[in-house]
């Protein structure tokens, strides 16, 4: 009788436990915000959204990410600090938009004579893995990328250095130094203000990759692009996450996201080249001129921007940073990865 009662008691307990487990609410998903300054329709906003969806899918819904494109959560220059302070959990923007904050990462922005966005993106990630600059230690780096060759896009054709003289170009960071050394006048402004500035004649041109002809609709307000690859610069981009939010994630979720990040380096590298191709095709279709410099003229431009790199090395060394090692690594890497 005792055994029968015990069996009934245990059976009832098991039934109740099963019912409680069945009715218990599932563990709530981690809700994260992602700030990005690209317009919602830009390829990089779409690719970042795809990354967010992939994270949700491969974590089985444990992490859900809400996108805030167009700088609606934090403007591009405040994006990094916004992630550090928790205004957004994840952010993508340009390193040089926060002037002086990332002195060693600035080497990527140098006019190294980039050939493609894929090349620049692979370099910035190889460089970060090699040097691990402490300037990024207050966030968790998801991945980095860099745009295709930064070139001259203008309202009138520029086929030689003399054509640059007296013209005003929207630029930022290192590209402002490139403009100065090539004889133009740099004008600092936010990327989302550039279209109107070009349209109204506030500036005569913009230093940017040719993808901006489509991605930012600049093909509507410029008439010419000059393929000055010998003096082409790039801009380093970050995709970072608030460190406290990252550390709070389960280890298996962190491992999943890290794997996706590795995949997105290559996806983003190829995307930059795709966007450059689309921008080139669009500007040609609109009847805009595309000028390829002669080898001699291209070398002339390249020679004029070399002092920018030397000046950068001296500036970093004065801060006790190994800028010479950083620059050498990048130049050697580019020679091996044409």
Rounded Cα distance between 68 and 39, Å, is: 10
Same domain, 205 and 258: no
Domain extent at residue 71: 30-146+234-277
| 45 and 175, same domain (yes or no) | no
In this structure, the answer to whether residues 211 and 87 fall within a common structural domain is no
Domain count, the chain: 2
Does one domain contain both 229 and 240? no
The pLDDT mean for the chain works out to: 92
On whether both 82 and 208 belong to a single domain, the answer is no
Write out pLDDT tens, residues 149-194.
999 999 999 999 999 999 999 998 889 999 999 999 999 988 889 9
* Residue at 93 is within a domain: yes
| pLDDT tens digits along 204-233 | 999 999 999 999 999 999 999 999 999 999
User: Do 70 and 199 lie in a common domain?
Assistant: no
Nearest Cα to Cα of residue 170 among 155, 152, 189: 189
* Cβ burial, residue 29 (10 Å; 0-12/13-18/19+): middle
CATH of the domain at 192: 3.40.190.10
Is residue 271 located within the same domain as residue 208? Answer: no
Strand partners, 94: 237
Residue 10 has pLDDT above 80, yes or no: no
Confidence check: pLDDT of 85 > 80: yes
Is residue 177 within 8 Å of 99, Cβ to Cβ?
Answer: no
> Quick check: is 335 in a domain?
no
Q: How much of the chain, in percent, has pLDDT values that exceed 70?
A: 92
Helix (H, G, I), strand (E, B) or coil at 109: helix
Do residue 182 and residue 225 come from a single domain?
A: yes
For residue 140, the surrounding DSSP H or E stretch is: strand 139-146
Assign 1 to helix, strand or coil.
coil
pTM of the model: 0.89
- Which comes out higher in pLDDT, residue 103 or 14? 103
């Amino acid at each position: 009788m005792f055994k029968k009662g015990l069996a009934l008691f245990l059976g009832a307990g098991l039934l109740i436990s099963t019912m409680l487990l069945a009715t218990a609410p599932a563990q709530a998903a981690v809700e994260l915000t992602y700030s990005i300054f690209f317009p919602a329709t830009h390829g990089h906003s779409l690719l970042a959204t795809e990354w967010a969806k992939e994270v949700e899918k491969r974590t089985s819904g444990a992490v859900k990410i809400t996108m805030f494109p167009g700088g609606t959560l934090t403007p591009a220059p405040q994006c990094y600090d916004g992630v550090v302070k928790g205004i957004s959990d994840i952010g993508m923007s340009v390193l040089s938009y926060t002037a002086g904050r990332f002195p060693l990462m600035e080497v990527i922005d140098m006019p190294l004579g980039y050939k493609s966005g894929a090349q620049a993106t692979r370099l910035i990630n190889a460089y970060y893995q090699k040097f691990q600059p402490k300037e990024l230690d207050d966030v968790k780096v998801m991945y980095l990328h860099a745009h295709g060759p930064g070139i001259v896009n203008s309202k009138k054709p520029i086929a030689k250095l003399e054509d640059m003289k007296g013209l005003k170009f929207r630029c930022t960071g290192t590209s402002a130094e490139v403009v100065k050394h090539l004889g133009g006048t740099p004008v600092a402004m936010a990327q989302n203000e550039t279209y109107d500035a070009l349209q109204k004649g506030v500036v005569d041109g913009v230093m940017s990759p040719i993808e901006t002809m489509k991605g930012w609709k600049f093909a509507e307000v410029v008439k010419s692009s000059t393929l000055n690859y010998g003096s082409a610069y790039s801009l380093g981009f970050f995709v970072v996450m608030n460190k406290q939010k990252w550390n709070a994630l389960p280890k298996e979720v962190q491992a999943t996201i890290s794997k996706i990040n590795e995949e997105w380096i290559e996806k983003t590298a190829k995307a930059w080249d795709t966007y450059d191709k689309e921008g080139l095709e669009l500007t040609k279709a609109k009847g805009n001129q595309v000028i390829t410099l002669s080898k001699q003229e291209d070398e002339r431009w390249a020679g004029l921007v070399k002092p920018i790199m030397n000046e950068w090395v001296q500036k970093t060394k004065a801060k006790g940073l190994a800028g010479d090692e950083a620059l050498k690594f990048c130049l050697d890497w580019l020679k091996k990865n044409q």
